[in-house]
Amino acid sequence: MFRADCGARNISITWRILELLQAFKPDQYITRAEFVTIASRFHNPLFSSTASFPDVSANHWAAKHIYDAYTHGWINGYPDGTFRPDQFITRAETAKIINIQFGRKIDEESLAKVANPYNNLDRSYWGYADIIEASFLHEYVRGDEREENWLTW
């Protein structure tokens, strides 16, 4: 049994993010390229130039981190094949990347049992499962497909 929580690990990750940003700028939005650059620094790099996003040139300042995130399987771009590195990232996109990065995925049975705590989030929204996964302190066991079978929340 494992426990997914907001304990010391998340605090250390938060401090690491602050160190990487060098200046916090609390009122500034973060772009997709900036977030992926931060996220890629938490794992061993698998730098590759195989990601072919037409809007990310090889000389883009974050290209190696974007390609790394793609190689790890954390991102796959938009349906039109673009990554949109200078677009602001949404909370749902952030939750999805972090959940993939740390191997967190709620199983359908557990998802059906969880009461939606958000009055502006519909169960049909593409990021619903990722948002719920990231929103609750819970204990779980891993299923056959590496999904989390929630025991408590």
pTM: 0.76
Q: How far apart are CA 44 and CA 41, in angstroms?
A: 7
Check residue 131 and give its pLDDT. Answer: 93
Count how many domains the chain has. Answer: 1
Check residue 55 and give its pLDDT. Answer: 95
What is the chain's Cα-based Rg? 16
Q: How many CA atoms lie within 13 A of 118 on its CB side?
A: 13
Supply the range of the domain harboring residue 121. 2-152
150, 53, 60: which is closest to 107 by C-alpha? 150
Check residue 2 and give its pLDDT. Answer: 47
Give the distance, in angstroms, between the CA of residue 120 and the centroid of all CA atoms in the same chain: 20
The pair phi, psi for residue 14, each rounded to 5°, is -60, -45
Check residue 104 and give its pLDDT. Answer: 85
64-76 pLDDT, tens digit each: 999 989 988 899 9
pLDDT by residue for the chain (153 residues), tens digit each? 445 544 444 445 555 555 555 566 667 889 999 999 988 888 777 766 666 799 999 899 999 999 989 988 899 999 999 999 999 999 999 999 998 988 888 888 889 988 999 999 999 999 999 999 888 887 888 877 777 777 777
Q: How far apart are CA 146 and CA 153, in angstroms?
A: 19
